[in-house]
Amino acid sequence: MRYLYTLAMFLVTPLMVVRLLMRGARLRPPRGRWPERFGFFDAPGFTGSLWVHAVSVGEVNAAEPLIKALRRDYPNAPLVITTVTATGTARVHQLFGDSVFQVYLPYDLPFAVNGFLRRVRPRLALIVETEIWPNLYFACCRSGIPLMIVNARLSERSLRGYRPMRGVVRAALRCVRMIAAQSRIDVARYRLLGADPRHVVVTGNMKFDMPIPDGAVAAGAAMRERWGPGRPVWMAASTHEGEDMAVLQAHQQILRQLPEALLLLAPRHPERFRLVEHAVRSQGFGVATYSADTVPSPQHQVFVIDAMGQLMPFFAAADVAFVGGSLVPIGGHNVLEPAALSTPVLVGPHTFNFEEITRSLIQQGGAERVMSPEQLDRDVLQLLNDPGKRQQMGLAAQRLFERERGAVQRIMRMIDSLLQE
């Protein structure tokens, strides 16, 4: 099975390269760094590094408190952060600058993986959430590099996706020293996939430990003063293709009842920023953008947040936050960012990437589910017109956020134990 898997990886690699070239061509300036995908880059010249892999923006944000804890407790150990996406890479540089060594994770080809490990020479590998690459795991095992999956989650969809190659995945998971899972459901699914039950434990979700940026609340309050403290404001965050038009149609309906309403619209991917801005203008809204205007003014009806890593002050300023990737079957995004700021949360029906957190938030009264795009304007209007309910939901959301913190501390104890061995 492993040889068949490796053969399949060699066969699909040209398609992955073409996809990267096509996506890179849409970025300005175009981004290369293709040799890193095959394990070729200038060796940083250190040994005994601590390596954290976070595939994209969401995983980088989740790993932020853990990376900061590693820097605090192991100040002399070089830190290596790998990502897969350009947006994840940009977020690493935004958070940590040159204090870490950032490189793209190589394709799961034996020569690429071995070249990567030879250059960064880690003493510990930490994989964030759900990234099972058999050749990489086998190479760590052969090299004696302890491997942990932290903040581990496994959706029902991912479990089904791994089943055709269950044999090789099971063997790869046996190379993992510890799996620090988000919930009991994730523990059960990893065991079904073949992980050693003795090595899978619940530590909670690191996203509850994310830091709230200094000044986010004050910046949100300042924005509200600028556009009018009593103005009804809702936010649609991390939207995907297929959601933007539903959000804009909902806003048109909302404006009929609340003519002063403001929509803060934050597309998920940078390559869609310009397309979304054009779509908003084509609908006849008064539009401003973060890149051109920084904050909206009273005359604007829609404000497009065309920047990465800037959402927290806007969550603090919004009366209601709809979290995207959930009206379409993407699986949803992080609902804890608005929850941490006491902002009521709305989500669509597709939240399998954050099912445990979303379920808890809904059960505790901090979030509600929008079952269809046609229902979005009604649910937003209901909350915009009911400040008492908004306050109640916001307090429930923040209470859940505060209660569930502590996963990073538990994971750090496990890391300390592995490094002492």
Backbone angles phi, psi at 376, to 5 degrees: -60, -50
Residues 113 and 253 in one domain: no
Residue type, 16: M
Same domain as 276, residue 150: no
- The residue among 25, 32, 89, 86 whose CA lies nearest residue 60 is 89
Q: Name the strand (E) or helix (H) holding 167.
A: helix 166-173
One domain, residues 269 and 388: yes
> Does a structural domain hold residue 12?
no
Q: What is the pTM of this model?
A: 0.83
Catalytic residue numbers, as ranges: 59
Token pair for residue 368?
Answer: 């509600």
One domain, residues 97 and 240: no
Contact assessment for residue 28 and residue 42, using Cβ atoms and an 8 Å cutoff: no
Q: Which own/partner contact pairs does 90-95 have at CB distance under 8 Å and 24+ positions apart? A: 90/308, 91/57, 91/60, 91/61, 91/308, 91/309, 92/54, 92/60, 94/308, 94/309, 95/60, 95/64, 95/67, 95/309
The pLDDT profile of the chain, 421 residues, written as one tens digit per residue, is: 888 888 988 998 888 878 777 766 555 444 568 899 999 999 999 999 999 999 999 899 999 999 999 999 999 999 999 999 888 999 999 999 999 999 999 999 999 999 999 999 999 999 999 889 999 999 999 999 999 999 999 988 899 999 888 899 999 999 999 999 999 999 999 999 999 999 999 999 999 998 888 889 999 999 999 888 889 999 999 999 999 999 999 999 999 999 999 999 999 988 899 999 999 999 999 999 999 998 888 899 999 999 988 899 999 999 999 999 999 999 999 899 999 999 999 999 999 888 889 999 999 999 999 999 999 999 999 999 999 999 999 999 999 999 999 999 999 999 999 999 8
Name residue 277's amino acid: E
Could you tell me the CATH number of the domain that includes residue 343? 3.40.50.2000
d(CA 242, CA 327): 8
Alpha carbons 171 and 327: distance in angstroms, whole number: 36
Q: Which domain holds residue 42?
A: 27-204+406-420
Closest CA to 249 of 381, 384, 376: 376
CATH number at residue 156: 3.40.50.11720
One domain for residues 82 and 230: no
Number of domains in the chain: 2
* Residue 413 to residues 20, 70, 348, Cα–Cα distance (Å): 38, 11, 36
Residues 197 and 267 in one domain: no
- Residue 198's contacts (CB-CB under 8 Å, 6 or more residues apart) are none
